[in-house]
Chain A
């Protein structure tokens, strides 16, 4: 953790915004489908019978219950046989990746930069997950998944420090993802798709499922430009000159739609979910979708 005051105010601001955004939602219990192979028992009860240490309930013994499961002390107090059940205690690991490249710094003026929105959503979902008792971390080695409030500070630091400055576009980082865990990638996915494809394939190979959240500025969807224009990427690495920007609009929009379709397709193949979110819309709706995408299904 850094003691740089600017960084600490930014961190508290990010946490405050994330808390505010997450406030209306109940704690999020991430979907843990392949529990048996996942790992790490947590001390957070999942409000249902299962593997764990805490008492959950007595239930009448069924015919298929083994005899050793019967709780004789309880059964002796009545005429029926009872089975003592423990609460299912398990924690899921969720890793987040937020694109920190320069491309995310874009804003068309009226709205906050895409990066801000992305970090705030990541923080909000991290808060919800941590409240639910899950382990949350960032991809890479810096912030591995852990529990507890202190982890929030680490995540906030990690999100703010992750600016891979210089790079025009970011690519998902799959290092540090535990097998069979959950992942969330937030980016504008404006860079080369090959890298995204590679990352997703690798994640799928590990049995990791998750969600892709594409954050775009409304200007990127509308392309409201006209006249002779030189377009440059945020880092200046790419440039394209046109004499009549308005004439490119339709073809640009076609390509954008293609890219979104390709991302959706990728997500579908690998069992992920994908949403495009615009900074002009409410962050709440994106958070709600994320909540749904990561929530445990009964």
Chain B
């Protein structure tokens, strides 16, 4: 074997072939490229032309060089080059102890450590040294057993790191207990730990000690902290080296239950810093799903931080004392609460019995005075178990008779009876501001904005307990917020309303901050060890040293105080523990853990972990030669003119494609979305387009299409609505949102749409769409008899979200959106027309021609007059079906068109013509 620096050759004699290269150069240089024969009639014109002297008939030097390099690469490859040939030997003789730290910090490059141990075993077997292997986290009870190195090889696979560190006393004691006379090879994880120096000193007494450390950075994550809506994460590293970016991923279950990465961010270590902080802002829904944070690629228990209930969203139930009146949203007692709480909490509403089943963290009662005895008891129970009842005052509470004990039990203070409201009785000169919060108040430290004033409040009865229950007061000392603890829970009463009627508090940021303080107080995760004493915790999942979670199986329960007090070790393996419905994570890295590099005493040799590996270079050299030959082929073709320049480009691209090609990313089709034909969609939304539903009956469909065509033409001619060609819509496959109105002729035999289609139809109706149902049988359906079409319509419309209907009243906006109409004939004249019923309280104002009816557009119009047949036009604009007889029939057709125009106008303009602004003009026209 020939060794040249870091490279050795297995077959050096092959290298003599390199001497042939110059000869090859000369030969190749002498041979010009082969000619190409070409038939060409113009050859007579070429006869006698001589080549320019400047044109080289020789292969260009760079092509020769390319070929030479290819040949040289082949020769070198066959000479068997090896990078970093292994020749060095391990120093020393006598027994050898190989000591591995075996902590979580070792896990990331555990395989490399095992390789290193294997290398050491190989050398020991060559020099016939007896060897013992020990892991500090799992020390052999009987002391180090020295055996032949080969005997250890088979046992290497069973060595594994533990997700904790060795107990310092145990380690020092064990090392001291070993017999004298062995060398030690200590594979350390590189972290400063207690008791290392003792163990090192003990080992140095026995013989020579060599230390091996991994040069890779040890990374760890502290448990995330939830603060002000942000998740604060701290990443740690052991060495203060240069700037480093570490990807941190939040893992959790997606809605399908599969684990995936929910968020990813980067922690940036500044040069020389051992900590990197980052904060993550996640939607609460995502935050709830997170099960752990990890450093991507960290592969150790320290790089994983399990999360528990501390990041969970709170459930808050809101109950208001009075029914909301429509349209008075800003006066709703719950509006400001919803706005304040919605971002951070799950809001529940319902009645009290249902809500208590859900066991929320907080129940808010806004101006609720009356609770039944059973409800009171249930709520009191719930508070006893740790609930927070948040009450707001209001006119009802102020007016209620709260003297009896049953009503007062859920109030922190006794309120003055008799419906006193402060505004009247105390005759305040001006609204009162808030007094700064006392130190005992949970609100202590919050800034009070000057604009927060209170104009009314409910007053507490003077009471010996009153002062200690007040946690916020007005400038004159009257209580604003009072609190009473009840069992594990508490009751908090705001003496003002939750809306802005009595005070400006809900309008200010202070309100949100106060709510946060109160809700935070109710959050799990800040208990001390005493709080947990006596509870029993069962391990659900264990975290191994590599940062992999595994089900814990059966194990004995731990006391809650152990959970918080003791550190991670064999008695408390890291993982997820559960008690009742609470979950608590035990992480390898605690909130205060610091990582520091181990500083070994001078004189102890410390070496890097990696062993220079042998690398055979024959393969890469052959690949290089092949690549050069391919390049030679392309270049030769180029030179001989066999490739036109343009084709060369193509060939190069093809070649590059071949070399670089891998399976490209497949475009996954999004299953949730309907595949929308883009061209059709663009056409449909660039104009107003009328649409009809495909019934499957060709005659009916053709008539519907022709009818909409006729109506579109009429609209185009008479109004500013200029529709495009009508479209047939398949309910199962087409997007409905593009069409303002759907004409749906009913046939007895049409298929019932699928439930997905109904879902989309309902979405369409709720989104402001309108469906005109036409049973087309007013001739048969007269006298109230039920026809097949009517039954089919009932069947079709049952799953639809349709409000109560009524026959169109004579003052409905449909009668005046464009034309003034009294009836709505199609091919039949007498069928009734049904629209959404007017609200029951709509009344005609004296002197007004019509009532102020529904806001918005009626979602369905149902009739039987076969309008499409009356509207239908052929390509020349001639009516396709006869309507009525003679002039009267044409008049009826005209009325049908007018109905169609009014309908489209109604859809497009909504209740515009309902507006009383138009009354004078309409009155004027009606008067004529």
Contact = CB atoms under 8 A, between A and B. Distances in A.
Interface string A171-198: 0000000000000000010111000000
Contact of A234 (B32, B41, B57): B41
Contacts of A72: none
A265 interface: no
B641 A255 contact: no
Given A228-B33, A230-B36, A243-B32, A238 B47 contact: yes
A244 B41 contact: no
Nearest to A188: B41
Contacts, number: 102
Contacts of A106: 39-41
Nearest to A255: B45
B42 interface: yes
A220 B40 CA distance: 8
A106 B38 CA distance: 11
B640 interface: yes
Nearest to A232: B39
Contact of A246 (B33, B39, B641): B641
Contact of B33 (A169, A190, A191, A227): A227
Contacts of A229: 35-38, 641
Interface string A201-237: 0000000000000000100100111111111111000
A227 B641 contact: yes
Interface string A236-270: 00111111111110011001100100000000000
A103 interface: yes
Secondary structure type dominating chain B contacts: loop
Interface stretch (B48-56, B215-223, B487-495): B48-56
B658 interface: no
Interface string B733-766: 0000000000000000000000000000000000
Contact of A243 (B37, B39, B43, B55): B55
Contacts of A226: 640-641
A192 B45 CA distance: 10
Contacts of A225: 38, 40, 641
A247 B36 contact: no
B44 interface: yes
Interface string B634-676: 0000011110100000000000000000000000000000000
B921 interface: no
Contacts of B641: 225-227, 229, 245-246
Contacts of B328: none
B46 interface: yes
A224 B42 CA distance: 13
B640 A251 contact: no
B46 A248 contact: yes
Contact of B35 (A188, A241, A252): A241
Given A227-B639, A245-B641, A233 B43 contact: yes
A231 B45 CA distance: 11
A228 B640 contact: yes
Nearest to B639: A227
A258 to B, nearest CB: 9
Contact of B41 (A220, A228, A246): A220
B55 A247 contact: yes
Nearest to B637: A227
Nearest to A108: B40
Given A226-B641, A244-B52, A247-B55, A232 B45 contact: no
Interface residues of A, number: 38
Interface centre among A192, A241, A243, A256 (most CB of B within 10 A): A243
Which of A103, A220, A232, A245: most chain B CB closer than 10 A? A245
Contacts of B639: 227
Contacts of A188: 41
B52 to A, nearest CB: 5
Interface residues of B, number: 26
Interface in B167-212: none
Contact of A238 (B35, B43, B49, B640): B43
B57 to A, nearest CB: 5
A271 to B, nearest CB: 27
Nearest to B644: A224
A88 B165 CA distance: 124
Contacts of A103: 41
A162 B35 CA distance: 35
B41 A259 contact: no
Contacts of B51: 242-244, 247-248
From B33, B36, B640, name the one whose CB has the most chain A CB atoms within 10 angstroms: B36
B635 to A, nearest CB: 12
Given A228-B33, A232-B39, A252 B46 contact: yes
A227 B39 contact: no
A230 B41 contact: no
B34 interface: yes
B640 A232 contact: no
Interface in A80-137: 103-104, 106
Interface string A45-68: 000000000000000000000000
A50 to B, nearest CB: 46
Contact of B49 (A104, A191, A232, A252): A252
B641 to A, nearest CB: 3
A225 B644 CA distance: 9
A248 B43 CA distance: 11
A259 B35 CA distance: 28
A192 B35 CA distance: 27
Interface in B1-49: 32-47, 49
B35 A256 contact: no
Contact of A227 (B44, B47, B49, B640): B640
Given A225-B641, A227-B36, A230-B38, A190 B44 contact: yes
A259 B46 CA distance: 12
A191 B44 contact: yes
Contact of A242 (B34, B42, B46, B642): B46
B39 A233 contact: yes
B32 A231 contact: no
Contacts of B40: 106, 220, 225, 231-233
A242 B38 CA distance: 11
B867 to A, nearest CB: 54
B35 A228 contact: yes
A247 to B, nearest CB: 5
A190 B44 CA distance: 7
A193 to B, nearest CB: 10
B149 to A, nearest CB: 67
Nearest to B35: A228
A158 B675 CA distance: 63
Nearest to B48: A240
A190 B42 contact: yes
Nearest to A192: B44
Interface string B150-179: 000000000000000000000000000000
Interface centre among B46, B51, B640 (most CB of A within 10 A): B46
A255 B42 CA distance: 10
Contacts of A228: 32-36, 57, 640
Nearest to B37: A230
A230 B47 CA distance: 11
Contacts of B37: 229-230, 232
Interface of B: 32-47, 49, 51-52, 55, 57, 639-642, 644
22 contacts: A169-B41, A188-B41, A192-B44, A224-B644, A227-B639, A227-B641, A228-B32, A228-B35, A229-B37, A229-B641, A230-B37, A232-B43, A233-B41, A233-B43, A238-B44, A238-B47, A239-B43, A240-B43, A240-B46, A241-B35, A243-B32, A259-B45
- The 7 A-B residue pairs with the shortest CB-CB distance in the complex, in nearest-first order: A226-B641, A227-B641, A244-B55, A227-B640, A103-B41, A228-B35, A255-B45
Interface of A: 103-104, 106, 169, 188, 190-192, 217, 220, 223-234, 238-248, 251-252, 255-256, 259
Given A229-B38, A248-B49, 11 more contacts: A169-B41, A188-B41, A190-B45, A220-B40, A224-B644, A230-B35, A232-B37, A238-B47, A240-B49, A242-B46, A252-B42
